[in-house]
């Protein structure tokens, strides 16, 4: 039996890139024709001309916060008899009732459609990499109400050939009893809930010996918990995804980063901007999806990560990312005014000699201090004064400016570092 889900996972990277970029213009044209919000996002950009990453980078990023705002605006503005595609989904979906098999609500709420296409959320690869195989029974402890997590894993397990027990969340003692009775080979859910189940089994004096593998998501999976599960004979792997995009990347037996899904275009951009960062630099995960039913283009997830160099030792050749490294939305309030990463990007954009900036906010409540640290190829007093003026113009707040050597700012994706103390 192959250790790979299919031959796509071991393609030559150049072949994969060529195939994705070749498919991009038609996917964008179809999205613009069927999902009105994508047409609005593209504006005057012609889909057939977007054949390179440089051309794709001309499309403005739509961030998760904007998606929520646009959906909310549509639901407020449009009447009940307006098209579902616009009124419910803000124009981002290409399907409405009937074609959508299910609709889910994520916090906000943001509404997401699910069509009847097999493995709609594309988590089957991650399950396969975690060791799930046809004929296994999978115990699914993701939620089956409101959010799509339960459906994500169930549809993926069916694509692999597994039978699923819909455990959902809660009822820990009953979960233990079902696992004892049915003897599932694997668990799908959050890692913390698996630990709770296993500890409850210990408390009840029940051995859950059938569990050998787990695919976990939805929260951090620290090495300490991974090792704790391993000591009990359970190999746990993590998958990274969202309700908007489905599966984005997944862990493999190599345990070196997360391998990107085969049918996504990944960019890492500087938070608050549309600008792609150099490979290896931490920034916001931005995804272009080829999902014809919910065709998100340059969708800013709000998550921070970075591209890892090279190919995974497991043999999968797709791009790897470091995993979840925090949130990109670093908006904070200073002296009653919001300061956004995009504002800092605008300050830097006005000065071509500036490489990177980082705003450090310190002090205590009522005594905020802003310090703009700047990496620049050439620095003098005139540049510092210009930066000071630009910060005041853009944010309406005053900041001191400190020039630092190029490459000295931490590679952690932070544009705004709020280190204030509150007592």
- Decide if 285 contacts 268 (C-beta within 8 A): yes
pLDDT of 151 higher than 60? yes
Q: What is the pLDDT of residue 319?
A: 98
Domain positions in the chain are 332-418
pLDDT of 396 higher than 90? no
Ranges 100-114, 280-294, 334-348: which has the least confidence: 334-348
320-355 burial: b if 16+ Cβ within 10 Å, else e: bbbbbbeebbbbbebeeeebbbbbbbbbbeeeeebe
Q: What is the pLDDT of residue 345?
A: 87
Residue owning tokens 């309700």? 243
Check whether the bond before 82 is cis (ω within 30° of 0).
no
User: Which CATH code, of 3.30.70.260, 3.30.300.30, 3.40.50.970, 3.90.76.10, is assigned to 332-418?
Assistant: 3.30.300.30
Q: What is the mean pLDDT of the chain?
A: 93
Q: How far is CA 330 from CA 266, 305, 343, in A?
A: 21, 14, 11
Helix-helix angle 223-231:191-204, to 10 degrees: 40
pLDDT of 365 higher than 70? no
pLDDT digits (tens, 9 = 90+) for 319-330: 999 988 888 878
Among 169, 182, 316, CA closest to 237 = 316
* Predicted structure pTM score: 0.85
Residue 330 or 197, more confident: 197
Residue count of the chain, please give it.
423
Which of 72-76, 344-348, 410-414: highest mean pLDDT? 72-76
Among 305, 240, 258, 249, CA closest to 279 = 305
Residue owning tokens 């699910």? 114
pLDDT digits (tens, 9 = 90+) for 51-61: 999 999 999 99
pLDDT digits (tens, 9 = 90+) for 231-263: 999 999 999 999 999 999 999 999 999 999 999
Q: What is the pLDDT of residue 414?
A: 87
Q: What is the pLDDT of residue 341?
A: 85
As a whole number of angstroms, the distance between CA 127 and CA 130 comes to 5
Reported for 401-409, long-range contacts at CB under 8 A and 24+ positions apart, including other chains, are 401/371, 401/372, 401/374, 402/371, 402/372, 402/373, 402/374, 403/374, 403/376, 403/379, 404/373, 404/374, 404/375, 405/375, 406/355, 406/375, 406/376, 406/377, 407/375, 408/375, 409/356, 409/358, 409/373, 409/375
pLDDT digits (tens, 9 = 90+) for 29-68: 999 999 999 999 999 999 999 999 999 999 999 999 899 9
Mean pLDDT of 84-93: 97
Banded pLDDT at 343 (limits 50, 70, 90): confident
- Decide if 125 contacts 174 (C-beta within 8 A): no
Q: What is the pLDDT of residue 413?
A: 87
Banded pLDDT at 340 (limits 50, 70, 90): confident
Q: What share of the chain has pLDDT > 90, as a percent?
A: 79
Ranges 176-190, 226-240, 312-326, 354-368: which has the least confidence: 354-368
pLDDT digits (tens, 9 = 90+) for 212-221: 999 999 888 9
Mean pLDDT of 354-377: 86
Mean pLDDT of 338-363: 89
Banded pLDDT at 366 (limits 50, 70, 90): low
Structure token pair of residue 281: 């630099």
Structure token pair of residue 272: 């608050």
């Amino acid at each position: 039996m192959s250790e790979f889900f299919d031959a796509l996972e071991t393609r030559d990277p150049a072949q994969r890139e060529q195939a994705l970029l070749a498919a991009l213009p038609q996917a964008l044209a179809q999205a613009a024709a069927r999902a009105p919000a994508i047409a609005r996002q593209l504006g005057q950009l012609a889909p057939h001309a977007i054949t390179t990453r440089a051309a794709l980078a001309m499309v403005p990023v739509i961030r998760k916060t904007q998606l929520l705002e646009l959906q909310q605006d549509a639901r407020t503005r449009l009447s009940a008899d307006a098209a579902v595609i616009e009124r419910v989904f803000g124009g981002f979906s290409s399907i409405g009732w009937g074609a959508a098999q299910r609709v889910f609500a994520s916090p906000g709420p943001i509404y997401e459609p699910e069509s009847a296409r097999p493995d709609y959320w594309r988590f089957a690869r991650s399950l396969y990499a975690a060791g799930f195989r046809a004929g296994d029974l999978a115990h699914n402890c993701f939620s089956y109400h409101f959010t799509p997590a339960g459906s994500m894993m169930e549809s993926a397990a069916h694509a692999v050939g597994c039978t699923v027990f819909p455990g959902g969340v809660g009822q820990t003692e009953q979960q233990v009893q079902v696992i004892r009775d049915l003897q599932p080979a694997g668990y799908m859910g959050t890692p913390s809930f698996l630990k709770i189940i296993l500890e409850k089994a210990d408390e009840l004096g029940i051995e859950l010996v059938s569990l050998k593998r787990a695919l976990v998501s939805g929260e951090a999976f620290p090495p300490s918990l991974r090792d704790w599960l391993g000591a009990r004979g359970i190999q746990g792997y993590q998958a990274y995804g969202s309700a908007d995009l489905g599966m984005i990347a997944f862990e493999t037996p190599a345990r070196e980063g997360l391998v990107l899904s085969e049918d996504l275009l990944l960019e890492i951009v500087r938070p608050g901007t549309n600008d792609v960062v150099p490979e290896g630099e931490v920034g916001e995960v931005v995804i272009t999806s080829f999902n014809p039913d919910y065709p998100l283009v340059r969708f800013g997830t709000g998550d921070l990560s970075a591209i890892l160099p090279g190919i995974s030792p497991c043999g999968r050749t797709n791009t790897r990312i470091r995993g979840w490294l925090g949130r990109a939305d670093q908006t904070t309030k200073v002296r009653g005014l919001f300061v956004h990463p995009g504002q800092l990007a605008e300050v830097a954009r006005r000065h071509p000699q500036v490489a990177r900036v980082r705003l450090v906010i310190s002090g205590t409540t009522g005594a905020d201090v802003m310090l703009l640290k700047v990496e620049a190829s050439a620095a003098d007093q005139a540049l510092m004064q210009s930066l000071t003026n630009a910060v005041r113009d853009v944010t309406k707040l005053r900041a001191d400016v400190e020039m630092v050597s190029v490459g000295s700012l931490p590679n952690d994706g932070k544009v705004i570092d709020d280190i204030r103390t509150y007592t």
